[in-house]
Amino acid sequence: MALVIFLALIAVIALYFISLYNNLVALKHGVARAWSNIDVLMKQRHDELPKLVEACRQYMRFESETLERVMRARAEVASAREARDIPALGGAETALRAGLGQLFATVEAYPELSANEHFRHLLARITELEDAIADRRETYNDAVNLNNVRIEQFPDALIAHGFNFGAARPLHFKEAEKSDVDVKQLFQG
């Protein structure tokens, strides 16, 4: 009888640790899934920006520095995104947002561009993507927080340390970087 109780206790403990391990795996994959959602949106924005720049280039012959700044920042975001370098991505996103803000402010001087249907469609699409990226960034940071808290809690920390579950990096931006470019406001006036 004592052997049965001992074996049952061992089985319960083993199932408990298996459950903890599986929960940590689910959290790790939740972080990866949340990152993938951001990644998809950034790729879509990456594909739309050249179209927007080209539409602007047709009207803005003397604003090539602004257009080039946006394209350089776009390349930096893509590079950081592909490398999953979260701190570099924050800086690259800052540069891209600043470039887009400058581009949108410059467009005000070109009323025929503002009235162009293709340009307005691209502008709306990029605005949608910016909003979606901001939402996904919040979801990603929530997943990172859940993961990081669990791998520090006892007894999860034992399994996390034993199986090399690492902390994930949240995607943080400075306060000025957190606000999205208000594209509509830039065109009102």
pLDDT of 1-40, one tens digit each?
A: 899 999 999 999 999 999 999 999 999 999 999 999 999 9
pLDDT at 66: 80
- Selection from 63-67, 90-94, 133-137, 177-181 with the highest mean pLDDT: 133-137
CB 128 within 8 A of CB 98: no
pLDDT of 83-111, one tens digit each?
A: 988 888 888 888 888 888 888 887 777 77
- pTM, to two decimals: 0.73
* Residue 134 exposed, middle or buried by CB count within 10 Å (0-12, 13-18, 19+): middle
The third-level CATH classification (topology) of the domain covering 24-187 is de novo design (two linked rop proteins) (1.20.1440)
